[in-house]
Structure formats: structure tokens, C-alpha cells
Amino acid sequence: MVHSHLAFLPILIPLTGAMIALLLGRRRSLQAVWTLGTMLAALASSSWLLAVVWRSGQPVVFQSGGWAAPFGISLIGDLLAAVFVVMSQLVLATGVLYAIGSKDSVVKYPTFYPLYLMLATSLSGAILTGDLFNMYVFAELLVISGTVLTAISDDRYGTEAAYKYFYISLLASFFMLLAVGCLYVSFGTLNMADLAKRIAADSGGQLLLPSIGFLMATFMVKSAVFPFHFWQPDFHTAAPTAVSAMLSSVVVKLGVYGFLRMTTLLFLPQAATIRSLLLALGVVGVVFGGLSALGTHNAKRMLAYSTLAQVGFILVGIGWGTPLAIAAAIVFAFNHSLIKAGMLMLAGYVASRASVKSASFDVVTGVGRSIPAAGVLFFIGSLGLAGIPPTNGFISKMFLFRSGIDGAAFGSLAFIGVGSILTLLYTMRAFQRIWWQDPPEGAKAKPVGDLLVAPFILIGLVLVLGLWAEPLVQVATDTSAWLGNPAGYIQAVMGG
Amino acid sequence: MELLTAIAIGILFALGVFQLLRRNIIRSAIGLIILANAVNLFLLSTGAYISIEPAYVSDTTGVLSDALPQALILTAIVISMGGTAFVLSMLYIISARYKTSDMDEVDGLKN
């Protein structure tokens, strides 16, 4: 294949960038500019990958070291992986912009940018890899870089939140190793395409069901799905703004990606069972996340709980499992990443202007009086989160509801309808507290804070993708059609 | 021997989970280390593995065991070593801040 290196570039560019950024540790402004350049180059390479894959209709497969498929590690850029990588790197690039304009002392730490680039590397790697063990390695790298970035946060509870998360994640990675072991002993391969082929041919192995359970648990921890969500609000609140905006938007999508791969490629004979479980967990997540977000006293924490609810929406889409619902889930995942990253950056921006650096509602009440521009952005973001036109949130919600009506799943539709109303309630309450109420006596907003460039770009994209949604919907529909044809994926990887 | 290995791994898992659920944060970190070893042993036992013959190559039976799980374990050991070191360093910071090793007294996040 002519363009096979394209599946490798989105991993290689941030990895090399991280090494060089480490050498630039003493020259901070140069390091920041270098990081931004690296992320933009990575974004360009992944967009190129998406364009090539979409136009040619063939996955781009890179066999590392020239070893043929089941023996070496294959990197596979099919449409799903390409969409997810573009989504991650787009949001990660705006995160660098926010970090550059940030007043936090954590961004002055010499290893902040290298760690950030490692986050980008590992996220792209975990999505693009076609090997289960390689995915474990990248997921572990993702966890470690995310945890270190939180542990050095300005928030004094950063270390504790990081400890809590790392502890749970280590357990999740043990689960993943157990799944790897079970699958290897049953089928003798770890290449996902090869595994899919063998599982479809013979699903009699006794260790197959445990391995499905272990993988489910792993991805549930990664995505903070309902029973495994307890670390997430603390972790996402304590992280520095530039990082928490990434953790709560794109990093949680790794689990979503894993679930998509599990139900459409790896475990096709068992997909119906997995889907019904995901549907139930998604519905619980939507309602529980919405209610918890309503009960919080901190803007960042509210948005973290909101992620729990929004991931629930995506899981409901995957759980319905019709081609239309899967396309809706992909659109939802893409749009949610943009909205949530933008909203968290705005919450962090407000916190940076408050008298004490905190996003607690008691502190930020009335802070918005002096920053109307952020208020407009926050309002548009709230509309997006709640799914009201003209934002992209409307497109994703409408798409999801339409697929639900198509599939006649009215019970779960009613629940996610309630979830949508809850979203509107909590975002509007936050908007009212920050921008409408008078500040308490004696509280004075700071005249300067972080820069608004990054949230401006993200919320701008929210509007653009709301008014001109066709390309994204088209890509998602095509992706869903590709996912309906696992034989094509297997053939592209294994050859022959 | 297979039975013995299985029982040994099972005991390690039980010990690890038990320690993991203790309130003392140092004990729970030790539980994590035990669990990591249990998982690695489990991975080792997924390779072809005959009686008390060495796990790699056997001259007597002529059986070559599968080397891939061992490569996986090597990677997993390195990763879990890094993870353990990181956990212990965070533990050090936390216990120095709260002057305790009881998890219930580390309650800064609750407020």
C-alpha cells in the first residue's frame, strides 16, 4: 500500500516531539511553541490519514518492522480509528493553546509539555493499534502521563485525586492483562483482526466469556461508566484546566472506542449480550450523571459528572447497535469532545478570574459580570451540551433520537429524554450563578486571567458543525457501514 | 504441577485482593504489588507449560514452550515496576501531608 506510513505518523510525530520538547526544558516559550507546532503537525497527519482512508475506501495498514499480520504489530487506520484520532488531536491541539495562555504555575513545569505530548502519543497509539497487547501498553502510557499531569496540578488535592485514579487504573490494566492471557491461551493470537476471525469461527473456548468480562471492566474504567465512575469527578476537577479539558473529553473516548471495536469486530457472536449490558449501563449513567451534576457545588465538578451522563448517551447508541445508532454514537462522541473541552476551558477561565483559584460556585458567583465574552461562549456551549440548535449538540441528539425511534426503543428513549432535560437544568443553573447573580460583598474579580483563544476556537467549531453538519454525519454513516463489514477489515489486515 | 501452579496463583490473587481492600494505604499498595505478580504468573502459565520442565526450552521432552507470553510478561513487569514506583512516591507525599497511613483520614477530597 502506497500510504501505509500514514497510520504511523500520528503516533510518531507527537512521540518525537515529546523527546525534543524534553531537551528544550530550559527554554519555556520555545518549548511551548514547539509543542503547539508538533500537535498541529500531528493533526495535519491524522487529517491526511482520514482523507486518504475516506476517499480510497480502504483501511491504511502499517505492518511495523515489515512482519506480516499475525506475527508483527499492525497499525490500522480504518475509518473509525481515523475519525477518533482526528477528534483527539484536534482537541489536544486546542489544549496546548489553552496551556500557553494559562496563568497556572503547572504549565511552567519543564516536563509539562513533554508529558502532554506523551498523552497525545499514547491516545493516538491506543486507537490506531491493531494488537491487543500493544493497546495495553499505550493505555498504560496514557494513564501514567495523565496521572502525572494531574499530580503536579496547582490544586492542592491533585496528588490525592491522581493517586485514586492511578490505583483504579492499575487494577484496570491488570484486568486487561488477564483478558490478554485468556484470549491468548484460547486462540493463540493477539492481533485483533486475527482474533476476530478465530472467535467467529469457534467461540467454544471456556476462557472466552471471562476475557469479555475483563475487557468490559477495563474499558468501563477507562470511560468512567456508571459503577466504575467514582474516581472520575475528583480526578477531572483536580487536574489543571488544560489537562482536565482533555481528560474529560477525548481520553474517556478510549473506552467508547474499545466498546465499538468489541461489539463490531472482536466478539460478534456475543455482541447482543454486550450491547444489552451497555444499554442498561448507559441509561443508568445518563440519569445518575445528570442528577449528580445537578447536585454539585463546583462548575468543573458539574462538567465532570456531565461527562458521565454524556458517555451514557454514547453507550446507549452503541447499545442499540443498529447501523444508524452506531453512526449517531460516533457523531455524539465527536461533538461531545468539542463541547466538553470548550466548556471545561471556560470553567477554568472563570476560575482563573475569581478571587480564589477555584471553580466552586460560592467563589465564582458573579465573576462573569466583567467577562461577557466568556458568558456568550458558555451559553452556546450549554446549548450544545443540552442539544438545542444551532449547535452540533442538537445534531448529535437528533441523530441519536431518530435512531432510537427507528429501532422502536421507547423505554430507553424516555430515560435519555429525561437526561437531556437535566443537562439543560444544570448548565443553565451554572450560567445563572456565574453571569447573572451579583457578586457577594467584597469579592473582586481579577482583571486578568487565562486567554480565551482555545475555548473560542472550540465553541466556534461547535457552531460551525451545528450549521454545517453534513460532512461529519456523512463520515459517521460511512464509518458505521464499514463497521458493519468486519470481513473487509480482517481481509485488509491479514491480506489474502 | 499444573494444579499446584493454579492453586499458588489463586492464593496470590486472594492475598492481593485482601490486602488491596485494607484501610492502611501502605498495605493496599503492597496488595497492588502482589496482584501484579499474580497476573504475571497467570500470563506465564498461558504459555505451553509442561509439569516441572523449565518454562522456556526443555531438552528432555523436546518441547519448546511458547516464548510470546514471556515477552508479554517482560513488558508487563517493566510497566508495573514503573507504576509501583509512582504509586509509592505519591503515597509518600500523601502520608507526609496527612501524617497518617489510614485511608479514612485522607479526606481532603471530600470537601
pLDDT tens-digit readout, A366-417: 888 888 888 999 999 999 998 888 888 899 999 999 998 888 888 888 888 8
A23 pLDDT above the threshold of 70? yes
Residue located via cell numbers 458567583: A365
Residue scoring higher pLDDT (A75 or A408): A75
A198 touches B at CB < 8 Å: no
Interface ipTM: 0.89
A172 touches B at CB < 8 Å: no
A148, A167, A177 ranked by CB distance to B43: nearest: A177
A104 pLDDT above the threshold of 90? no
Predicted confidence at residue A50, as pLDDT, reads: 93
Predicted confidence at residue A15, as pLDDT, reads: 95
The mean-pLDDT minimum among A95-104, A229-238, B57-66 falls in: B57-66
Q: What is the pLDDT of residues A234-283, one digit of tens each?
A: 888 888 888 999 998 999 999 999 999 999 988 888 889 999 999 999 99
Q: What is the mean pLDDT of residues A80-88?
A: 94
pTM greater than the 0.95 cutoff: no
Predicted confidence at residue A363, as pLDDT, reads: 81
Predicted confidence at residue A235, as pLDDT, reads: 87
Q: Residues in chain B whose beta carbon is closer than 8 A to a beta carbon of chain A? A: 20, 28, 32, 35-36, 39, 42-43, 46, 68-69, 72, 75-76, 79-80, 82-83, 86-87, 90-91, 93-94, 97, 106, 108-109
Task: Please tell me the distance in Å from A378's CA to the nearest CA on chain B.
Answer: 26
A353 pLDDT above the threshold of 70? yes
Q: Which residues in A lie closer than 8 A to residue B107 (C-beta atoms)?
A: none
Count residue pairs from A and B with Cβ separation < 8 A.
Answer: 72
Q: What is the pLDDT of residues B6-64, one digit of tens each?
A: 899 999 999 999 998 888 888 888 999 999 999 998 888 877 665 555 555 666 666 66
Q: For residue A339, name the pLDDT band (cuts at 50, 70, 90).
A: very high
Q: What is the mean pLDDT of residues A309-317?
A: 93
Task: Please tell me the distance in Å from A163's CA to the nearest CA on chain B.
Answer: 6
Q: Which residue of B has its CA nearest to A360?
A: B111
Task: Please tell me the distance in Å from B103's CA to the nearest CA on chain A.
Answer: 11
A164 touches B at CB < 8 Å: yes
Q: What is the pLDDT of residues A134-175, one digit of tens each?
A: 999 999 999 999 999 998 888 778 888 898 899 889 899 999
Q: Which residues in B lie closer than 8 A to residue A144 (C-beta atoms)?
A: 82-83, 86
Predicted confidence at residue A153, as pLDDT, reads: 85
Structural contact between residues A143 and A163, judged by C-beta atoms closer than 8 angstroms:
no
B4 pLDDT above the threshold of 60? yes
User: Under an 8 A CB cutoff, do A181 and B35 touch?
Assistant: no
Q: Which residues in A lie closer than 8 A to residue B106 (C-beta atoms)?
A: 160
Q: What is the mean pLDDT of residues B82-107?
A: 85
Q: What is the pLDDT of residues A457-483, one digit of tens each?
A: 999 999 999 898 899 999 999 999 998
Q: What is the mean pLDDT of residues A21-42?
A: 92
As a whole number, the mean pLDDT across chain A is: 89
Q: What is the mean pLDDT of residues A217-239?
A: 88
